[in-house]
Structure 1
Amino acid sequence: MSQDFVVAIPARYAASRLPGKPLRELAGEPLVLHVARRALAAGAREVWVAADDERIAQALKDSGVQVAMTSSEHASGTDRLAECADIAGWRDDTVIVNLQGDEPFAPASGIVATAAALRDSGAEMSTLAAPISEVEVLFDPNAVKLVRAGNGDALYFSRAPIPWPRDAFANDRQRMPGGGEWLRHIGIYGYRAGFLRKFAKLRPGRLEQIESLEQLRALEAGYRIAVGITPEPFPPGVDTPEDLARAEAHLADHRVGAAGEGG
């Protein structure tokens, strides 16, 4: 059933760690097509890909999604989506879910949950998180952590372990401490088109520049980000050639499992 939100997928051809990423093949099809199908499965009213290269548009022909050709000069996916919002002509109250173009396994339920968190909270932005169960993830700077207020709003995002369990880590940093909930941020966002346009015009904040986390710009400017717990796991995205190989293996395992169930 169609939901009252749209999904926008930023797709930059010249990705630094995986050039041509949107068109890299996964199970014989472009990566961006897999992501677009996840958005369609969520039942969005519209699905748009904000591209910067005509080859991406060609790869999505007859896929059921619309393509906005955006500038190749954008500094971030957020800037690209703000231009997409103008091209699509979305009203300021349109609920947009920003699904990253390297998430071929994003669960449909997580996309829907991001839109619901925005509506239910009344916040300017929404996102998702997942519990952390491994201490290696807690200390991995590539896994962004967050802490929430009692109402579910984000207090802070960091590449460092937060909150820091002083007594537990004073004794042992090799295992997960007990007595708390540590959360890993999932890079999916919801906002209304009006706030997206406003956010794209904000200057990067000091905290954003220190941590290299764009969402801190909103917090530093005094805006709310509602954080929901993902209803299903988000398998890792694709950012490197190694990630692409893992994604291929994940799909192969899934096909084998499905064949076994059918038999």
Structure 2
Amino acid sequence: MFKAVIPARHASTRLPGKPLLDIEGKPMVVRVAEQALKSGASEVVVATDHAEIARVCEAAGLRTLMTRADWPTGTDRLSEVVQLCGWPDDTVVVNVQGDEPLIDPALIDRVAQALLQGDQDIATCGHGIEDWTEFKNPNVVKIALREDHEALYFSRAPIPYPRDHFASETKPASLGEQALGIRHIGLYAYRASFLKKYPSLAPSPLETLESLEQLRALAHGFRIKVCMIQESPLPGVDTSDDLERVRKLVRSRQG
């Protein structure tokens, strides 16, 4: 069994009040929670720093916790939830982003099971990259893996770097049907023991350089399991264009 926590901040540079934005008659954060409730989670908690988000979630029958407003990351907010709830160290907690109203409940289960069945501190997801443009895009985070599917490194750079083929953009024959690289999907499962330690971990130089929070865990010796999926999940909501696209998808499903 595992817990699902949805960090929901009101502040957003691109879309202020994003968790409360309407998607076909329901606030986005409620849509996210409904997807999480369809997973195998034994409990779903919305963690917010905003009274209106809490009110809307409670009105929808969702368990809601008020957390500090000054946390720098969603992982810090999860750490506070673990402490407030008194969850034991071996509890598995999935961080379900509050701006992914179309997240597949099966994917939540998949990342939770990856951690429940192993002894790592964190689990996350990835899928193969076939397109050169995507492989080189710094907004697409790539993962280098060990043979046992634990993460060696995460980077915005194209890793592993195909030295003799990169300039001509031809896929190395040695790869056969393998993908060029692995795209990181930002869904995480954590052990509560890690979350309790996280706020005291100093940011690492690599984390600061790449602007990738997960590198802090690797730098401090924590282990990250990567479960592979076949294709990228449906998009979250970062912009107004994303919001309209998601609204259309939800409308088509309801129709």
Do both share a fold (TM > 0.5)?
A: yes
Does the residue aligned with 1:121 lie in a helix, a strand or coil?
coil
Tell me the residue number matched to 2:253.
254
Deviant stretches of 4+, over 4 Å = 175-178
**CA displacement 1:179-224 (0-9 Å, x = unmatched):** 1432111111111111111122201111110011100001111111
Name the TM-score, length of structure 2 as normaliser.
Answer: 0.93
Per the alignment, in what secondary structure is the counterpart of residue 61 of structure 1? Answer: helix
Equivalent residues of 2:58, 2:64 under 8 A apart: no
Tell me which moved more, 13-22 or 45-54: 13-22
User: Is 1:121 equivalent to 2:121 in the alignment?
Assistant: no
1:22 partner letter: P
Distance 1:184 1:93 in 2: 28
Residue correspondence of structure 1 range 142-161 to structure 2 within 5 A:
142-161=139-158
* Partner amino acid, structure 2, of 1:251: V
- % same residue: 45
The residue correspondences of 1:3-22 to structure 2 (distance < 5 A) are 4-22=1-19
Rounded Cα–Cα distance in structure 1 between residues aligned with 2:248 and 2:182: 27
| RMSD (Å), alpha carbons | 1.7
Give the corresponding residue for 2:79. Answer: 82
User: After superposition, where does 1:191-202 map in structure 2 within 5 Å?
Assistant: 191-202=190-201
Q: Is the 8 A contact 1:23 1:31 kept in 2?
A: yes
What aligned pairs does 1:33-52 form with structure 2 within 5 A after superposition?
33-52=30-49
Gaps of at least 5 residues in structure 2 are none
What amino acid is the match of 1:221?
H
**SS in structure 2 of the partner of residue 219 of structure 1:** helix
For residue 98 of structure 2, what is the aligned residue in structure 1? 101
- 2:224 counterpart residue number: 225
Task: Summarize the Cα distance change of 1:162–1:253 in structure 2 as closer, same or farther, 3 Å threshold.
Answer: farther
Residue 247 of structure 1 and its aligned partner are, at CA, apart by 1.3
Instruction: Please state how far the C-alpha of 1:64 moved relative to its aligned partner.
Output: 4.1
**Residue 163, structure 1, aligned to residue 160, structure 2:** yes
Unaligned runs of at least 5 residues, structure 1: 257-263
Distance 1:177 1:245, change over 3 A: farther
Q: TM-score, normalised by structure 1?
A: 0.90
Deviations 1:103-156 (A, max 9, x none): 111111111111111122211111011222322221222221111110000111
Tell me, yes or no, if structure 1 residue 239 matches structure 2 residue 238.
yes
What's 2:210 paired with?
211
